[in-house]
Structure 1
Amino acid sequence: MLSSKEISIPYNKLLDNNLRPSISIKFDPSDTQSVLCLLDSGADFSTFPVSIGKKIGVDFRDEDPINPPSQISGKIKCKCYKVATSFYVSWQTESISLYVIWVNSDKVYPVLGRRGFFDKFKEVVFCEEEKKLIFRW
């Protein structure tokens, strides 16, 4: 039988003051500040506001804008950029690398979607009644 590891993360209160499935990430393990990200099993891609990218040193001047994903397009006017990004979660020492859709709008909350994040784990379980996430790898 394969051994697996698991961690349980309680939901956090987000801007609307409701408990939501979310986790804190750091773009550098030595960072003192973290970014709280909504976990969205219905989102194909991870999306972050450009303002966060600028804070961590992403130079968007060298990037070509892409068409906004369907969940964003039509709802807000914005430019989007697809840039490879790495970050850390508290329970793993290795960074997680994935492509992030950086949205030029502060109306977008940081979201971790399926591609590049969910596939790093055997299971991601949303325990709605207990208001917690379980990650197994």
Structure 2
Amino acid sequence: MSQKKFYYTLLPILDHQGNKITEVARPIIEIVINYKHGEMVGPLKALLDSGADNNLFPVVVGSALGINISKGRKFSTFGISGQEIIVFRHYGIKIFIDGSAIATYVDFSYDYGDIPILGQQGFFDKVKSIKFVRPEEEFLIDLK
């Protein structure tokens, strides 16, 4: 496989009334996923989160893949806020980046409804390297 270059995505930060306060650049990529050779779902936007322990996706993505969410391995995890999140782990997931496949697992949660998160275990450990180049607002993923 090869090295892929991506650019940070500029997103607005809103206050409680929905007014834009500022903007933040985040490492977001487009992925396509499938489950056990089933239908492809995507493209989806996903956040590379070096502070996340595992891949975390909202249940709606798992449902679109035809996964019976509650059949996964159930356990608790905790987000940055310290809030407990119940997740269901499913194996047999493939994440495609520009046509290159990464075999992995995903934790799906009813308690999480935001952008899919690609974390240390299940994504960062499945690629050769990830290099964040903030001054140029780009990041490089070197696939195995």
Aligned counterpart, 1:116: 122
Deviations 1:37-80 (A, max 9, x none): 1001111101000111101111124235211x2226843x6531
Aligned counterpart, 1:7: 4
Which aligned runs of 4 or more in structure 1 are off by greater than 4 angstroms?
Answer: 14-17
1:46 to 46, 49, 55: 55
Which residue identity lines up with residue 86 of structure 2 in the other structure? K
1:132 to 121, 126, 138: 138
In structure 2, relative to structure 1, the CA distance for the partners of 1:53 and 1:14 (3 Å cut) is farther
The structure whose residues are more often strand, as a share, is 2
Higher RCO structure, 1 or 2 (CA under 8 Å, sep 6+): 1
In structure 2, relative to structure 1, the CA distance for the partners of 1:18 and 1:91 (3 Å cut) is farther
Aligned counterpart, 1:59: 68
Aligned length: 130
How high is the TM-score relative to the length of structure 2?
0.74
Unaligned 5+ runs, structure 2: 14-22
How high is the TM-score relative to the length of structure 1?
0.77
Distance 1:61 1:50 in 2: 10
Which residue identity lines up with residue 3 of structure 2 in the other structure? E
Percent of aligned pairs with the same amino acid? 27
- Are 1:83 and 2:90 matched, yes or no? yes
Deviations 1:5-27 (A, max 9, x none): 32211112457464310111101
